[in-house]
């Protein structure tokens, strides 16, 4: 599978995915730290990809997304944006409803 197919599959299979430097609990840059904190504050589980340990994704995602920088937040297959947009949406209250709507619903156990 080529790298673009891998990226497409990740975005399709994860309703909320953050491409970032490091991990949400150990971000490797300030922008990734701010973005992951904003997404975590929404209270839903989300997938992430550490682009530092995935150089092929780091090299090809900007071309695929037509977005040059990281982090990148994708929700339901759509690029939401990078750090500034994510933080701005979080501060204005726009991010949580989008994240909540995209979050996988827990199966009710009886």
Instruction: List, as residue ranges, the binding site for [2Fe-2S] cluster.
Output: 29
Other C-beta atoms closer than 10 Å to the C-beta of 5 total: 9
Contacts of 71 (CB under 8 A, 6+ apart): 18, 19, 20, 21, 31, 32, 35, 36, 82, 83, 86
DSSP state of 69: S
Provide the annotated binding site for glutathione. 21, 58, 70, 83-84
Where is the binding site, in residues? 21, 29, 58, 70, 83-84
Rounded Cα gap, residues 72 and 52, in angstroms: 14
């Amino acid at each position: 599978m080529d790298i673009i197919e891998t990226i497409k599959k990740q975005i399709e299979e994860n309703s909320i995915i953050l491409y970032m430097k490091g991990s949400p609990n150990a971000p490797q840059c300030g922008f990734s730290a701010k973005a992951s904190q904003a997404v975590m504050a929404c209270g839903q589980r989300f997938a992430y990809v550490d682009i530092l340990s995935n150089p092929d994704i780091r090299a090809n995602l900007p071309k695929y997304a037509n977005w040059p920088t990281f982090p990148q937040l994708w929700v339901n297959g759509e690029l939401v944006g990078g750090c500034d947009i994510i933080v701005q949406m979080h501060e204005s209250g726009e991010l949580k409803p989008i994240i909540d709507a995209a979050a996988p619903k827990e199966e009710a156990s009886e």
